[in-house]
């Protein structure tokens, strides 16, 4: 009774949902140019052939799906891929990061007529959901069409699990609709099985399955030679507001390590002039990589203001503070530096990569730091215990390696559900 009542209410409340969407537009929460997508109206034709539809709620989940999307493109280039998300920020992020040819649409609001319009147009051959953004109309309308469906990185907080258990008559049709659930952990697998999912397994975690960054080994060796004999640490992918915190940490560290070399690699190389000016205002000698300036015994700050060399810095420097985590930009993927074997320090603001950060911290490959003072303390502790830093780097590398193995297991589990045969 609960599911039909939900759908009748969602149908009757169409005008109210329209008002709600208009208010979200006014608050910048919806894209006015793409509002029709929220009503199930596509902005382009469906591609020919088999189509896999992937759904993620917001930025963090969508970023997690990117690894799977790239892997699917590699193993099944014949498949068309459609990604739906529900937020403006996720759409903006995916516009920059989706592989060419992958389609992005906003997920339709959970009104049956809009959901049917969406499904009628795209006619997916497989649905893959990330985590647990399960909408009753969307799930059950897809199930009514006998659409094979899977959840990857499936997770529910304990409170969400308890709520779904209390809503048994609504929960059962949703959770039993999925042919396969690949849980984020063994504990999560037990939760989804308890809610009625028929095939639940733990295969791995997509958010720990990031690709190794491309490494120029010659550049890494040259960097090692340039910094040899100096205590050194790296602040990687810095954003405005973080460089000053790094320079503050450098000042504290030089009280104990006066020959310290701090390497700063900004997220955007065009910020080189700005960061160099900040350092020089503090009377810190700066060498800029973009200008070909050599590191000398006097150099305090080495500024890596070039493009495409991040992996070389990660590989050559034993301690890395992964920036983008002291300012609210979402945080950067810590699995990339983990592949390169560097001890990681992570700030508190990493909502887009929270799970990967937690795994690295739990495995001993990373440590959390709250602010510039704690950053200086953490760097000094690792400079004073190089073997401890090396052990952290190996543990981080192991997490990244296991993540890649997890991706392979996830692909193997999904393969029987993929439509058709490889082209």
User: pLDDT digits over 215-269, tens only?
Assistant: 899 999 999 999 999 999 999 999 999 999 999 999 999 999 999 999 999 999 9
Query: Rounded distance, CA 75 to CA 63, Å?
Result: 20
Same-domain check for residues 12 and 158: yes
Query: Is 61 in the active site?
Result: yes
- pLDDT, averaged across the chain: 93
Same-domain check for residues 142 and 221: no
Query: Which percentage of the chain shows pLDDT scores above 90?
Result: 78
Q: What is the CATH number of the domain that holds 196?
A: 3.40.50.11720
Residue with tokens 């990681």: 344
Question: Is 305 inside a domain boundary?
Answer: yes
Same-domain check for residues 331 and 412: no
User: Can you give the pLDDT at residue 13?
Assistant: 87
Mean pLDDT of 312-328: 97
Q: What is the DSSP string of 21-80?
A: HHHHHHTTSS-GGGGGGGGT--SSPPPSS-EEEEE-SSHHHHHHHHHHHHHHHHH-TTSE
Question: Is 422 inside a domain boundary?
Answer: no
Query: Rounded distance, CA 191 to CA 4, Å?
Result: 25
Reported confidence tier of residue 1, pLDDT bands at 50, 70, 90:
low
Same-domain check for residues 200 and 311: no
Residue 375 has phi, psi (to 5 degrees) of -60, -45
Same-domain check for residues 186 and 292: no
Same-domain check for residues 89 and 181: yes
Give the count of domains, the chain. Answer: 2
Same-domain check for residues 229 and 306: yes
Q: Of the listed 30, 61, 242, 336, which one is catalytic?
A: 61
Mean pLDDT of 388-399: 97
Same-domain check for residues 221 and 195: no
Question: Is 72 inside a domain boundary?
Answer: yes
User: Can you give the pLDDT at residue 423?
Assistant: 46
Question: Is 23 inside a domain boundary?
Answer: yes
Reported confidence tier of residue 422, pLDDT bands at 50, 70, 90:
low
pLDDT tens, position by position, 52-100: 999 999 887 888 899 899 999 999 999 999 999 999 988 998 998 899 9
Same-domain check for residues 170 and 286: no
Domain, as residue range, for 32: 2-209+405-417
Mean pLDDT of 362-388: 96
Cβ within 8 Å of residue 275, ≥6 positions away: 238, 243, 264, 266, 303, 305
Q: What is the CATH number of the domain that holds 383?
A: 3.40.50.2000
pLDDT tens, position by position, 253-268: 999 999 999 999 999 9
Question: Is 357 inside a domain boundary?
Answer: yes
The three-point CA angle 364-368-370 to 5° equals 165
Cβ within 8 Å of residue 300, ≥6 positions away: 250, 254, 260, 261, 262, 279, 284, 285, 286
């Amino acid at each position: 009774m609960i599911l039909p009542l939900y759908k009748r209410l969602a149908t009757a409340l169409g005008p109210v949902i329209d008002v709600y969407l208009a208010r979200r537009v006014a608050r910048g929460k919806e894209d006015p140019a793409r509002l029709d997508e929220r009503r199930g109206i596509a902005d382009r034709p469906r591609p020919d052939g088999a189509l896999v539809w992937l759904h993620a709620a917001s930025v963090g989940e969508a970023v997690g799906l990117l690894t799977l999307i790239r892997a699917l493109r590699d193993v099944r280039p014949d498949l068309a891929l459609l990604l739906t998300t529900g937020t403006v920020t996720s759409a903006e992020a995916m516009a920059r990061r989706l592989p060419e040819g992958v389609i992005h649409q906003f997920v339709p609001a959970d009104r049956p007529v809009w959901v049917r319009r969406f499904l009628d147009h795209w006619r997916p051959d497989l649905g893959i959901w990330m985590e647990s953004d399960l909408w009753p109309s969307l799930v059950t309308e897809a199930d009514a069409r006998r659409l094979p469906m899977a959840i990857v990185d499936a997770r529910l907080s304990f409170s969400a699990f308890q709520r779904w258990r209390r809503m048994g008559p609504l929960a059962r049709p949703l959770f039993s609709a999925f042919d396969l659930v690949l849980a984020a952990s063994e504990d999560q697998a037990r939760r989804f099985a308890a809610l009625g999912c028929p095939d639940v397994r733990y295969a791995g975690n997509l958010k720990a399955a990031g690709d190794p960054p491309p490494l120029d080994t010659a550049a890494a060796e040259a960097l090692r030679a340039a910094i040899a004999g100096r205590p050194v640490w790296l602040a990687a992918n810095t954003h405005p507001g973080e460089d000053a915190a790094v320079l503050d940490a450098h000042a504290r560290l030089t009280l104990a390590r006066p020959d310290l070399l701090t390497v700063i690699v900004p997220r955007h190389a065009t910020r080189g002039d700005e960061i160099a000016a900040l350092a020089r205002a503090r009377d810190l000698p700066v060498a800029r990589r973009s200008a070909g300036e050599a590191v000398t015994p006097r150099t305090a700050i080495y500024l890596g203001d070039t493009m495409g060399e991040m992996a070389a810095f990660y590989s050559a420097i034993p301690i890395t503070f992964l920036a983008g985590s002291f300012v609210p930009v979402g945080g950067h993927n810590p699995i990339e530096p983990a592949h390169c074997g560097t001890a990681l320090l992570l700030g508190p603001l990493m909502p887009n990569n929270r799970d990967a950060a937690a795994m690295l911290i739990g495995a001993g490959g990373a440590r959390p730091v709250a602010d510039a003072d704690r950053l200086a303390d953490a760097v000094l502790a690792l400079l004073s215990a190089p073997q401890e830093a090396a052990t952290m780097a190996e543990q981080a590398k192991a997490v990244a390696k296991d993540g890649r193995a997890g991706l392979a297991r996830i692909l193997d589990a999904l393969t029987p559900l993929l439509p058709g045969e490889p082209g």
